[in-house]
A and B are shown apart, each in its own frame.
Chain A
Amino acid sequence: MFSEILIAIFLGCLMGVITGLTPGLHINLVALILLSVSPFLLGYTNVIVVASFIIAMSITHTFTDFISATYLGAPADDTALAVLPAHRLLLKGMGHEAVKLTVIGSLLCLILTIILSPLLIFAVPKIFNYLKNYIGWILLGIVVFMVLREESLDKKFWAFVVVALSGILGLIVLNMPNLKDPLLPMLSGLFGVSVLLLSLTQKVALPVQRTTEIIKVKTGDMLKALGSGVFSGSLVSIFPGLGPAQAAVLAGQITGKIGVFSYLILVGGINTVSMILSLITLFTIEKARNGSIIVVQQLLQKIDINVLISFLAVALVAGCIATFLALYISRIFSAIMNKLNYSALSIAIIIFIAAMVLYFSGFTGFLILVAATLIGLIPNIIDVSRSNSMACLLVPIILLNVL
């Protein structure tokens, strides 16, 4: 069994690299594919090994998806808010350092969560009961705060427009029947294609990428980032409908100004933590809040403490392997970026995203991509924060919880 699990971890890590690097590929989409191939895999081995494969792959995905978000500017919901700061660093020739910061966040938050897991097993149900009635109001407060923190009255107005448009788009898209993978066109439009189009029109020249170690983060800031990463990642796995993106917005407000570097550590940690915490909630409240852990739940129904410990160990090993892989691949990307024409690459990625959207979400998805891209252009033209566009995910959840 041990050797079978090891092979599963190894293969899972390799698959996680592929899914993480594919622009715009969301982990829930990967989970759906897994669910359909599970009966085939079970023909060869047992459920624990298949589940280990899924966990290793999902954990690796949370490490490597920042590579495509950073170098290619193509986000999924957990990386959307990292795209801008990471992209900014890329434009300073420090793409590798940006990826490194997210990897620091992922690995250290992973270890911290596993160490805290005995405590979390008891705390999670209590936090859930305490906060479940207020989550809609908390998120509403955040949206209001996001609008009000813009400097001038004019910008406040435009921030409100962006929140309203994104919110309406989110409401329409997420309530659309028969639309497969609705997040792909919406988030790719708001945070991916729009950014790429702008850098095309502004004729952004990419400086030489260096694999330096210039960035230093103060220990205090790093601890703050890791702490809020674990906290907000926990919220994701406790509350239905709350995704890594909303948690990142929430954590950003809680920690206050921690700076771009610490913020990347924080965002890097959230999705990894939410994956681990989903395993813990599967054990404690028998609920999986995460696409790929739902697949694990379908396979195993319930898990006992031995299975939980072995899954946490699988996650730890996979996360450590993913650290090596992510840093290695980031160096390769850095080297390749130096040889590529950035404008041609941006066009190629836009075409790729459009093709993915057409394939997975059909023509309706393509129309959503166009609409989302147009809305995504507004923050840059008016110079308000792009995180206002996150209203596309926040507004539907606020309405669900408050009304």
Chain B
Amino acid sequence: MKEKTLLKIALIGSLIGLVILYFISAKIEVKEYNPNFLNENIGDDVKLEGIVTKITDIGNVVFIEVSQQNTVTVVLFTNDDLSLKNGDDIEVIGEVQEYKWKNEVIAQKIRVVG
């Protein structure tokens, strides 16, 4: 097979692929990445979304109970005042850690999404 023929096939193939992709991408429902938190390993980075059900601020450390499939404790080390309140829909990016035989997420980034 000549290289030119191969490149022609590649060109036609990519055009067909792009047309299919254009039409099908409008039909895709995007699911939220919502891993079953309890199955994550210690040290894994996770991203989760849930509703704030309880906030405990003890100075430099804030404990946030986030409800999703199961309730997860999110720990945030901060000196700033938090503008979070119960019922906020938040997105947390952080690392899974074990504390007293229970998994919790040490938050690196928290964002209110709704």
Contact = CB atoms under 8 A, between A and B. Distances in A.
Contacts of B32: 47
Interface string B8-37: 011101101110111011111111110100
Given A313-B21, A316-B14, A320-B13, A43 B47 contact: yes
Interface residues of B, number: 32
Give the one of A36, A48, A107, A317 with max B CB within 10 A: A317
B6 A317 contact: no
Contacts of B10: 107, 319-321, 323-324
Given A107-B10, A309-B20, A323-B10, A42 B47 contact: yes
A111 B13 contact: yes
A42 B33 contact: yes
Given A310-B24, A313-B20, A320 B14 contact: yes
Interface stretch (A161-169, A298-306, A361-369): A298-306
Contact of B93 (A36, A39, A48, A217): A39
Contacts of A222: 1
A389 B58 CA distance: 62
Interface string A105-116: 001100100000
Contact of A107 (B9, B35, B109): B9
Contacts of A48: 28, 30
Interface of B: 1-3, 6-7, 9-11, 13-14, 16-18, 20-22, 24-33, 35, 45-47, 93, 109
Contacts of B11: 320
A1 B26 contact: yes
Interface string A199-215: 00000000000000100
Contacts of B2: 213
A2 interface: yes
Task: Identify whether the interface residues of A are mostly helix, strand, loop, or mixed.
Answer: helix
A56 to B, nearest CB: 11
Kindly list the 8 A-B residue pairs having the minimum CB-CB distance in the complex, ordered from nearest: A320-B14, A316-B17, A317-B17, A323-B10, A320-B10, A39-B45, A313-B21, A313-B20
Contacts of B33: 42, 47, 299
A130 interface: no
Contact of A316 (B1, B13, B29, B109): B13
Interface size class of A (residues with CB under 8 A): 35 or more
A40 B21 contact: no
A2 B25 contact: yes
A148 interface: no
A5 B30 CA distance: 13
Interface in A80-118: 100, 103-104, 107-108, 111
Contacts of B21: 2, 5-6, 310, 313-314, 317
A213 B7 CA distance: 14
Contacts of A5: 21, 25
Interface string A1-42: 110011000000000000000000000000000001011101
Given A42-B33, A100-B3, A307 B17 contact: no
A316 B16 contact: yes
A108 to B, nearest CB: 8
Give the one of A100, A307, A309, A313 with max B CB within 10 A: A313
A39 B26 CA distance: 24
A290 to B, nearest CB: 20
Interface in A155-187: none
A1 B14 contact: no
Contacts of A103: 6
A213 to B, nearest CB: 6
A47 B22 CA distance: 18
Contact of B27 (A38, A40, A108, A306): A306
Contacts of A36: 45
Contacts of A100: 3, 6
Nearest to B111: A43
Contacts of A320: 10-11, 13-14, 17
A43 B22 CA distance: 24
A307 B28 CA distance: 6
Contacts of A46: 30
A300 B30 CA distance: 9
Contacts of A38: 45
A104 B11 CA distance: 14
B16 A104 contact: no
Contacts of B7: 323-324, 327
B30 to A, nearest CB: 5
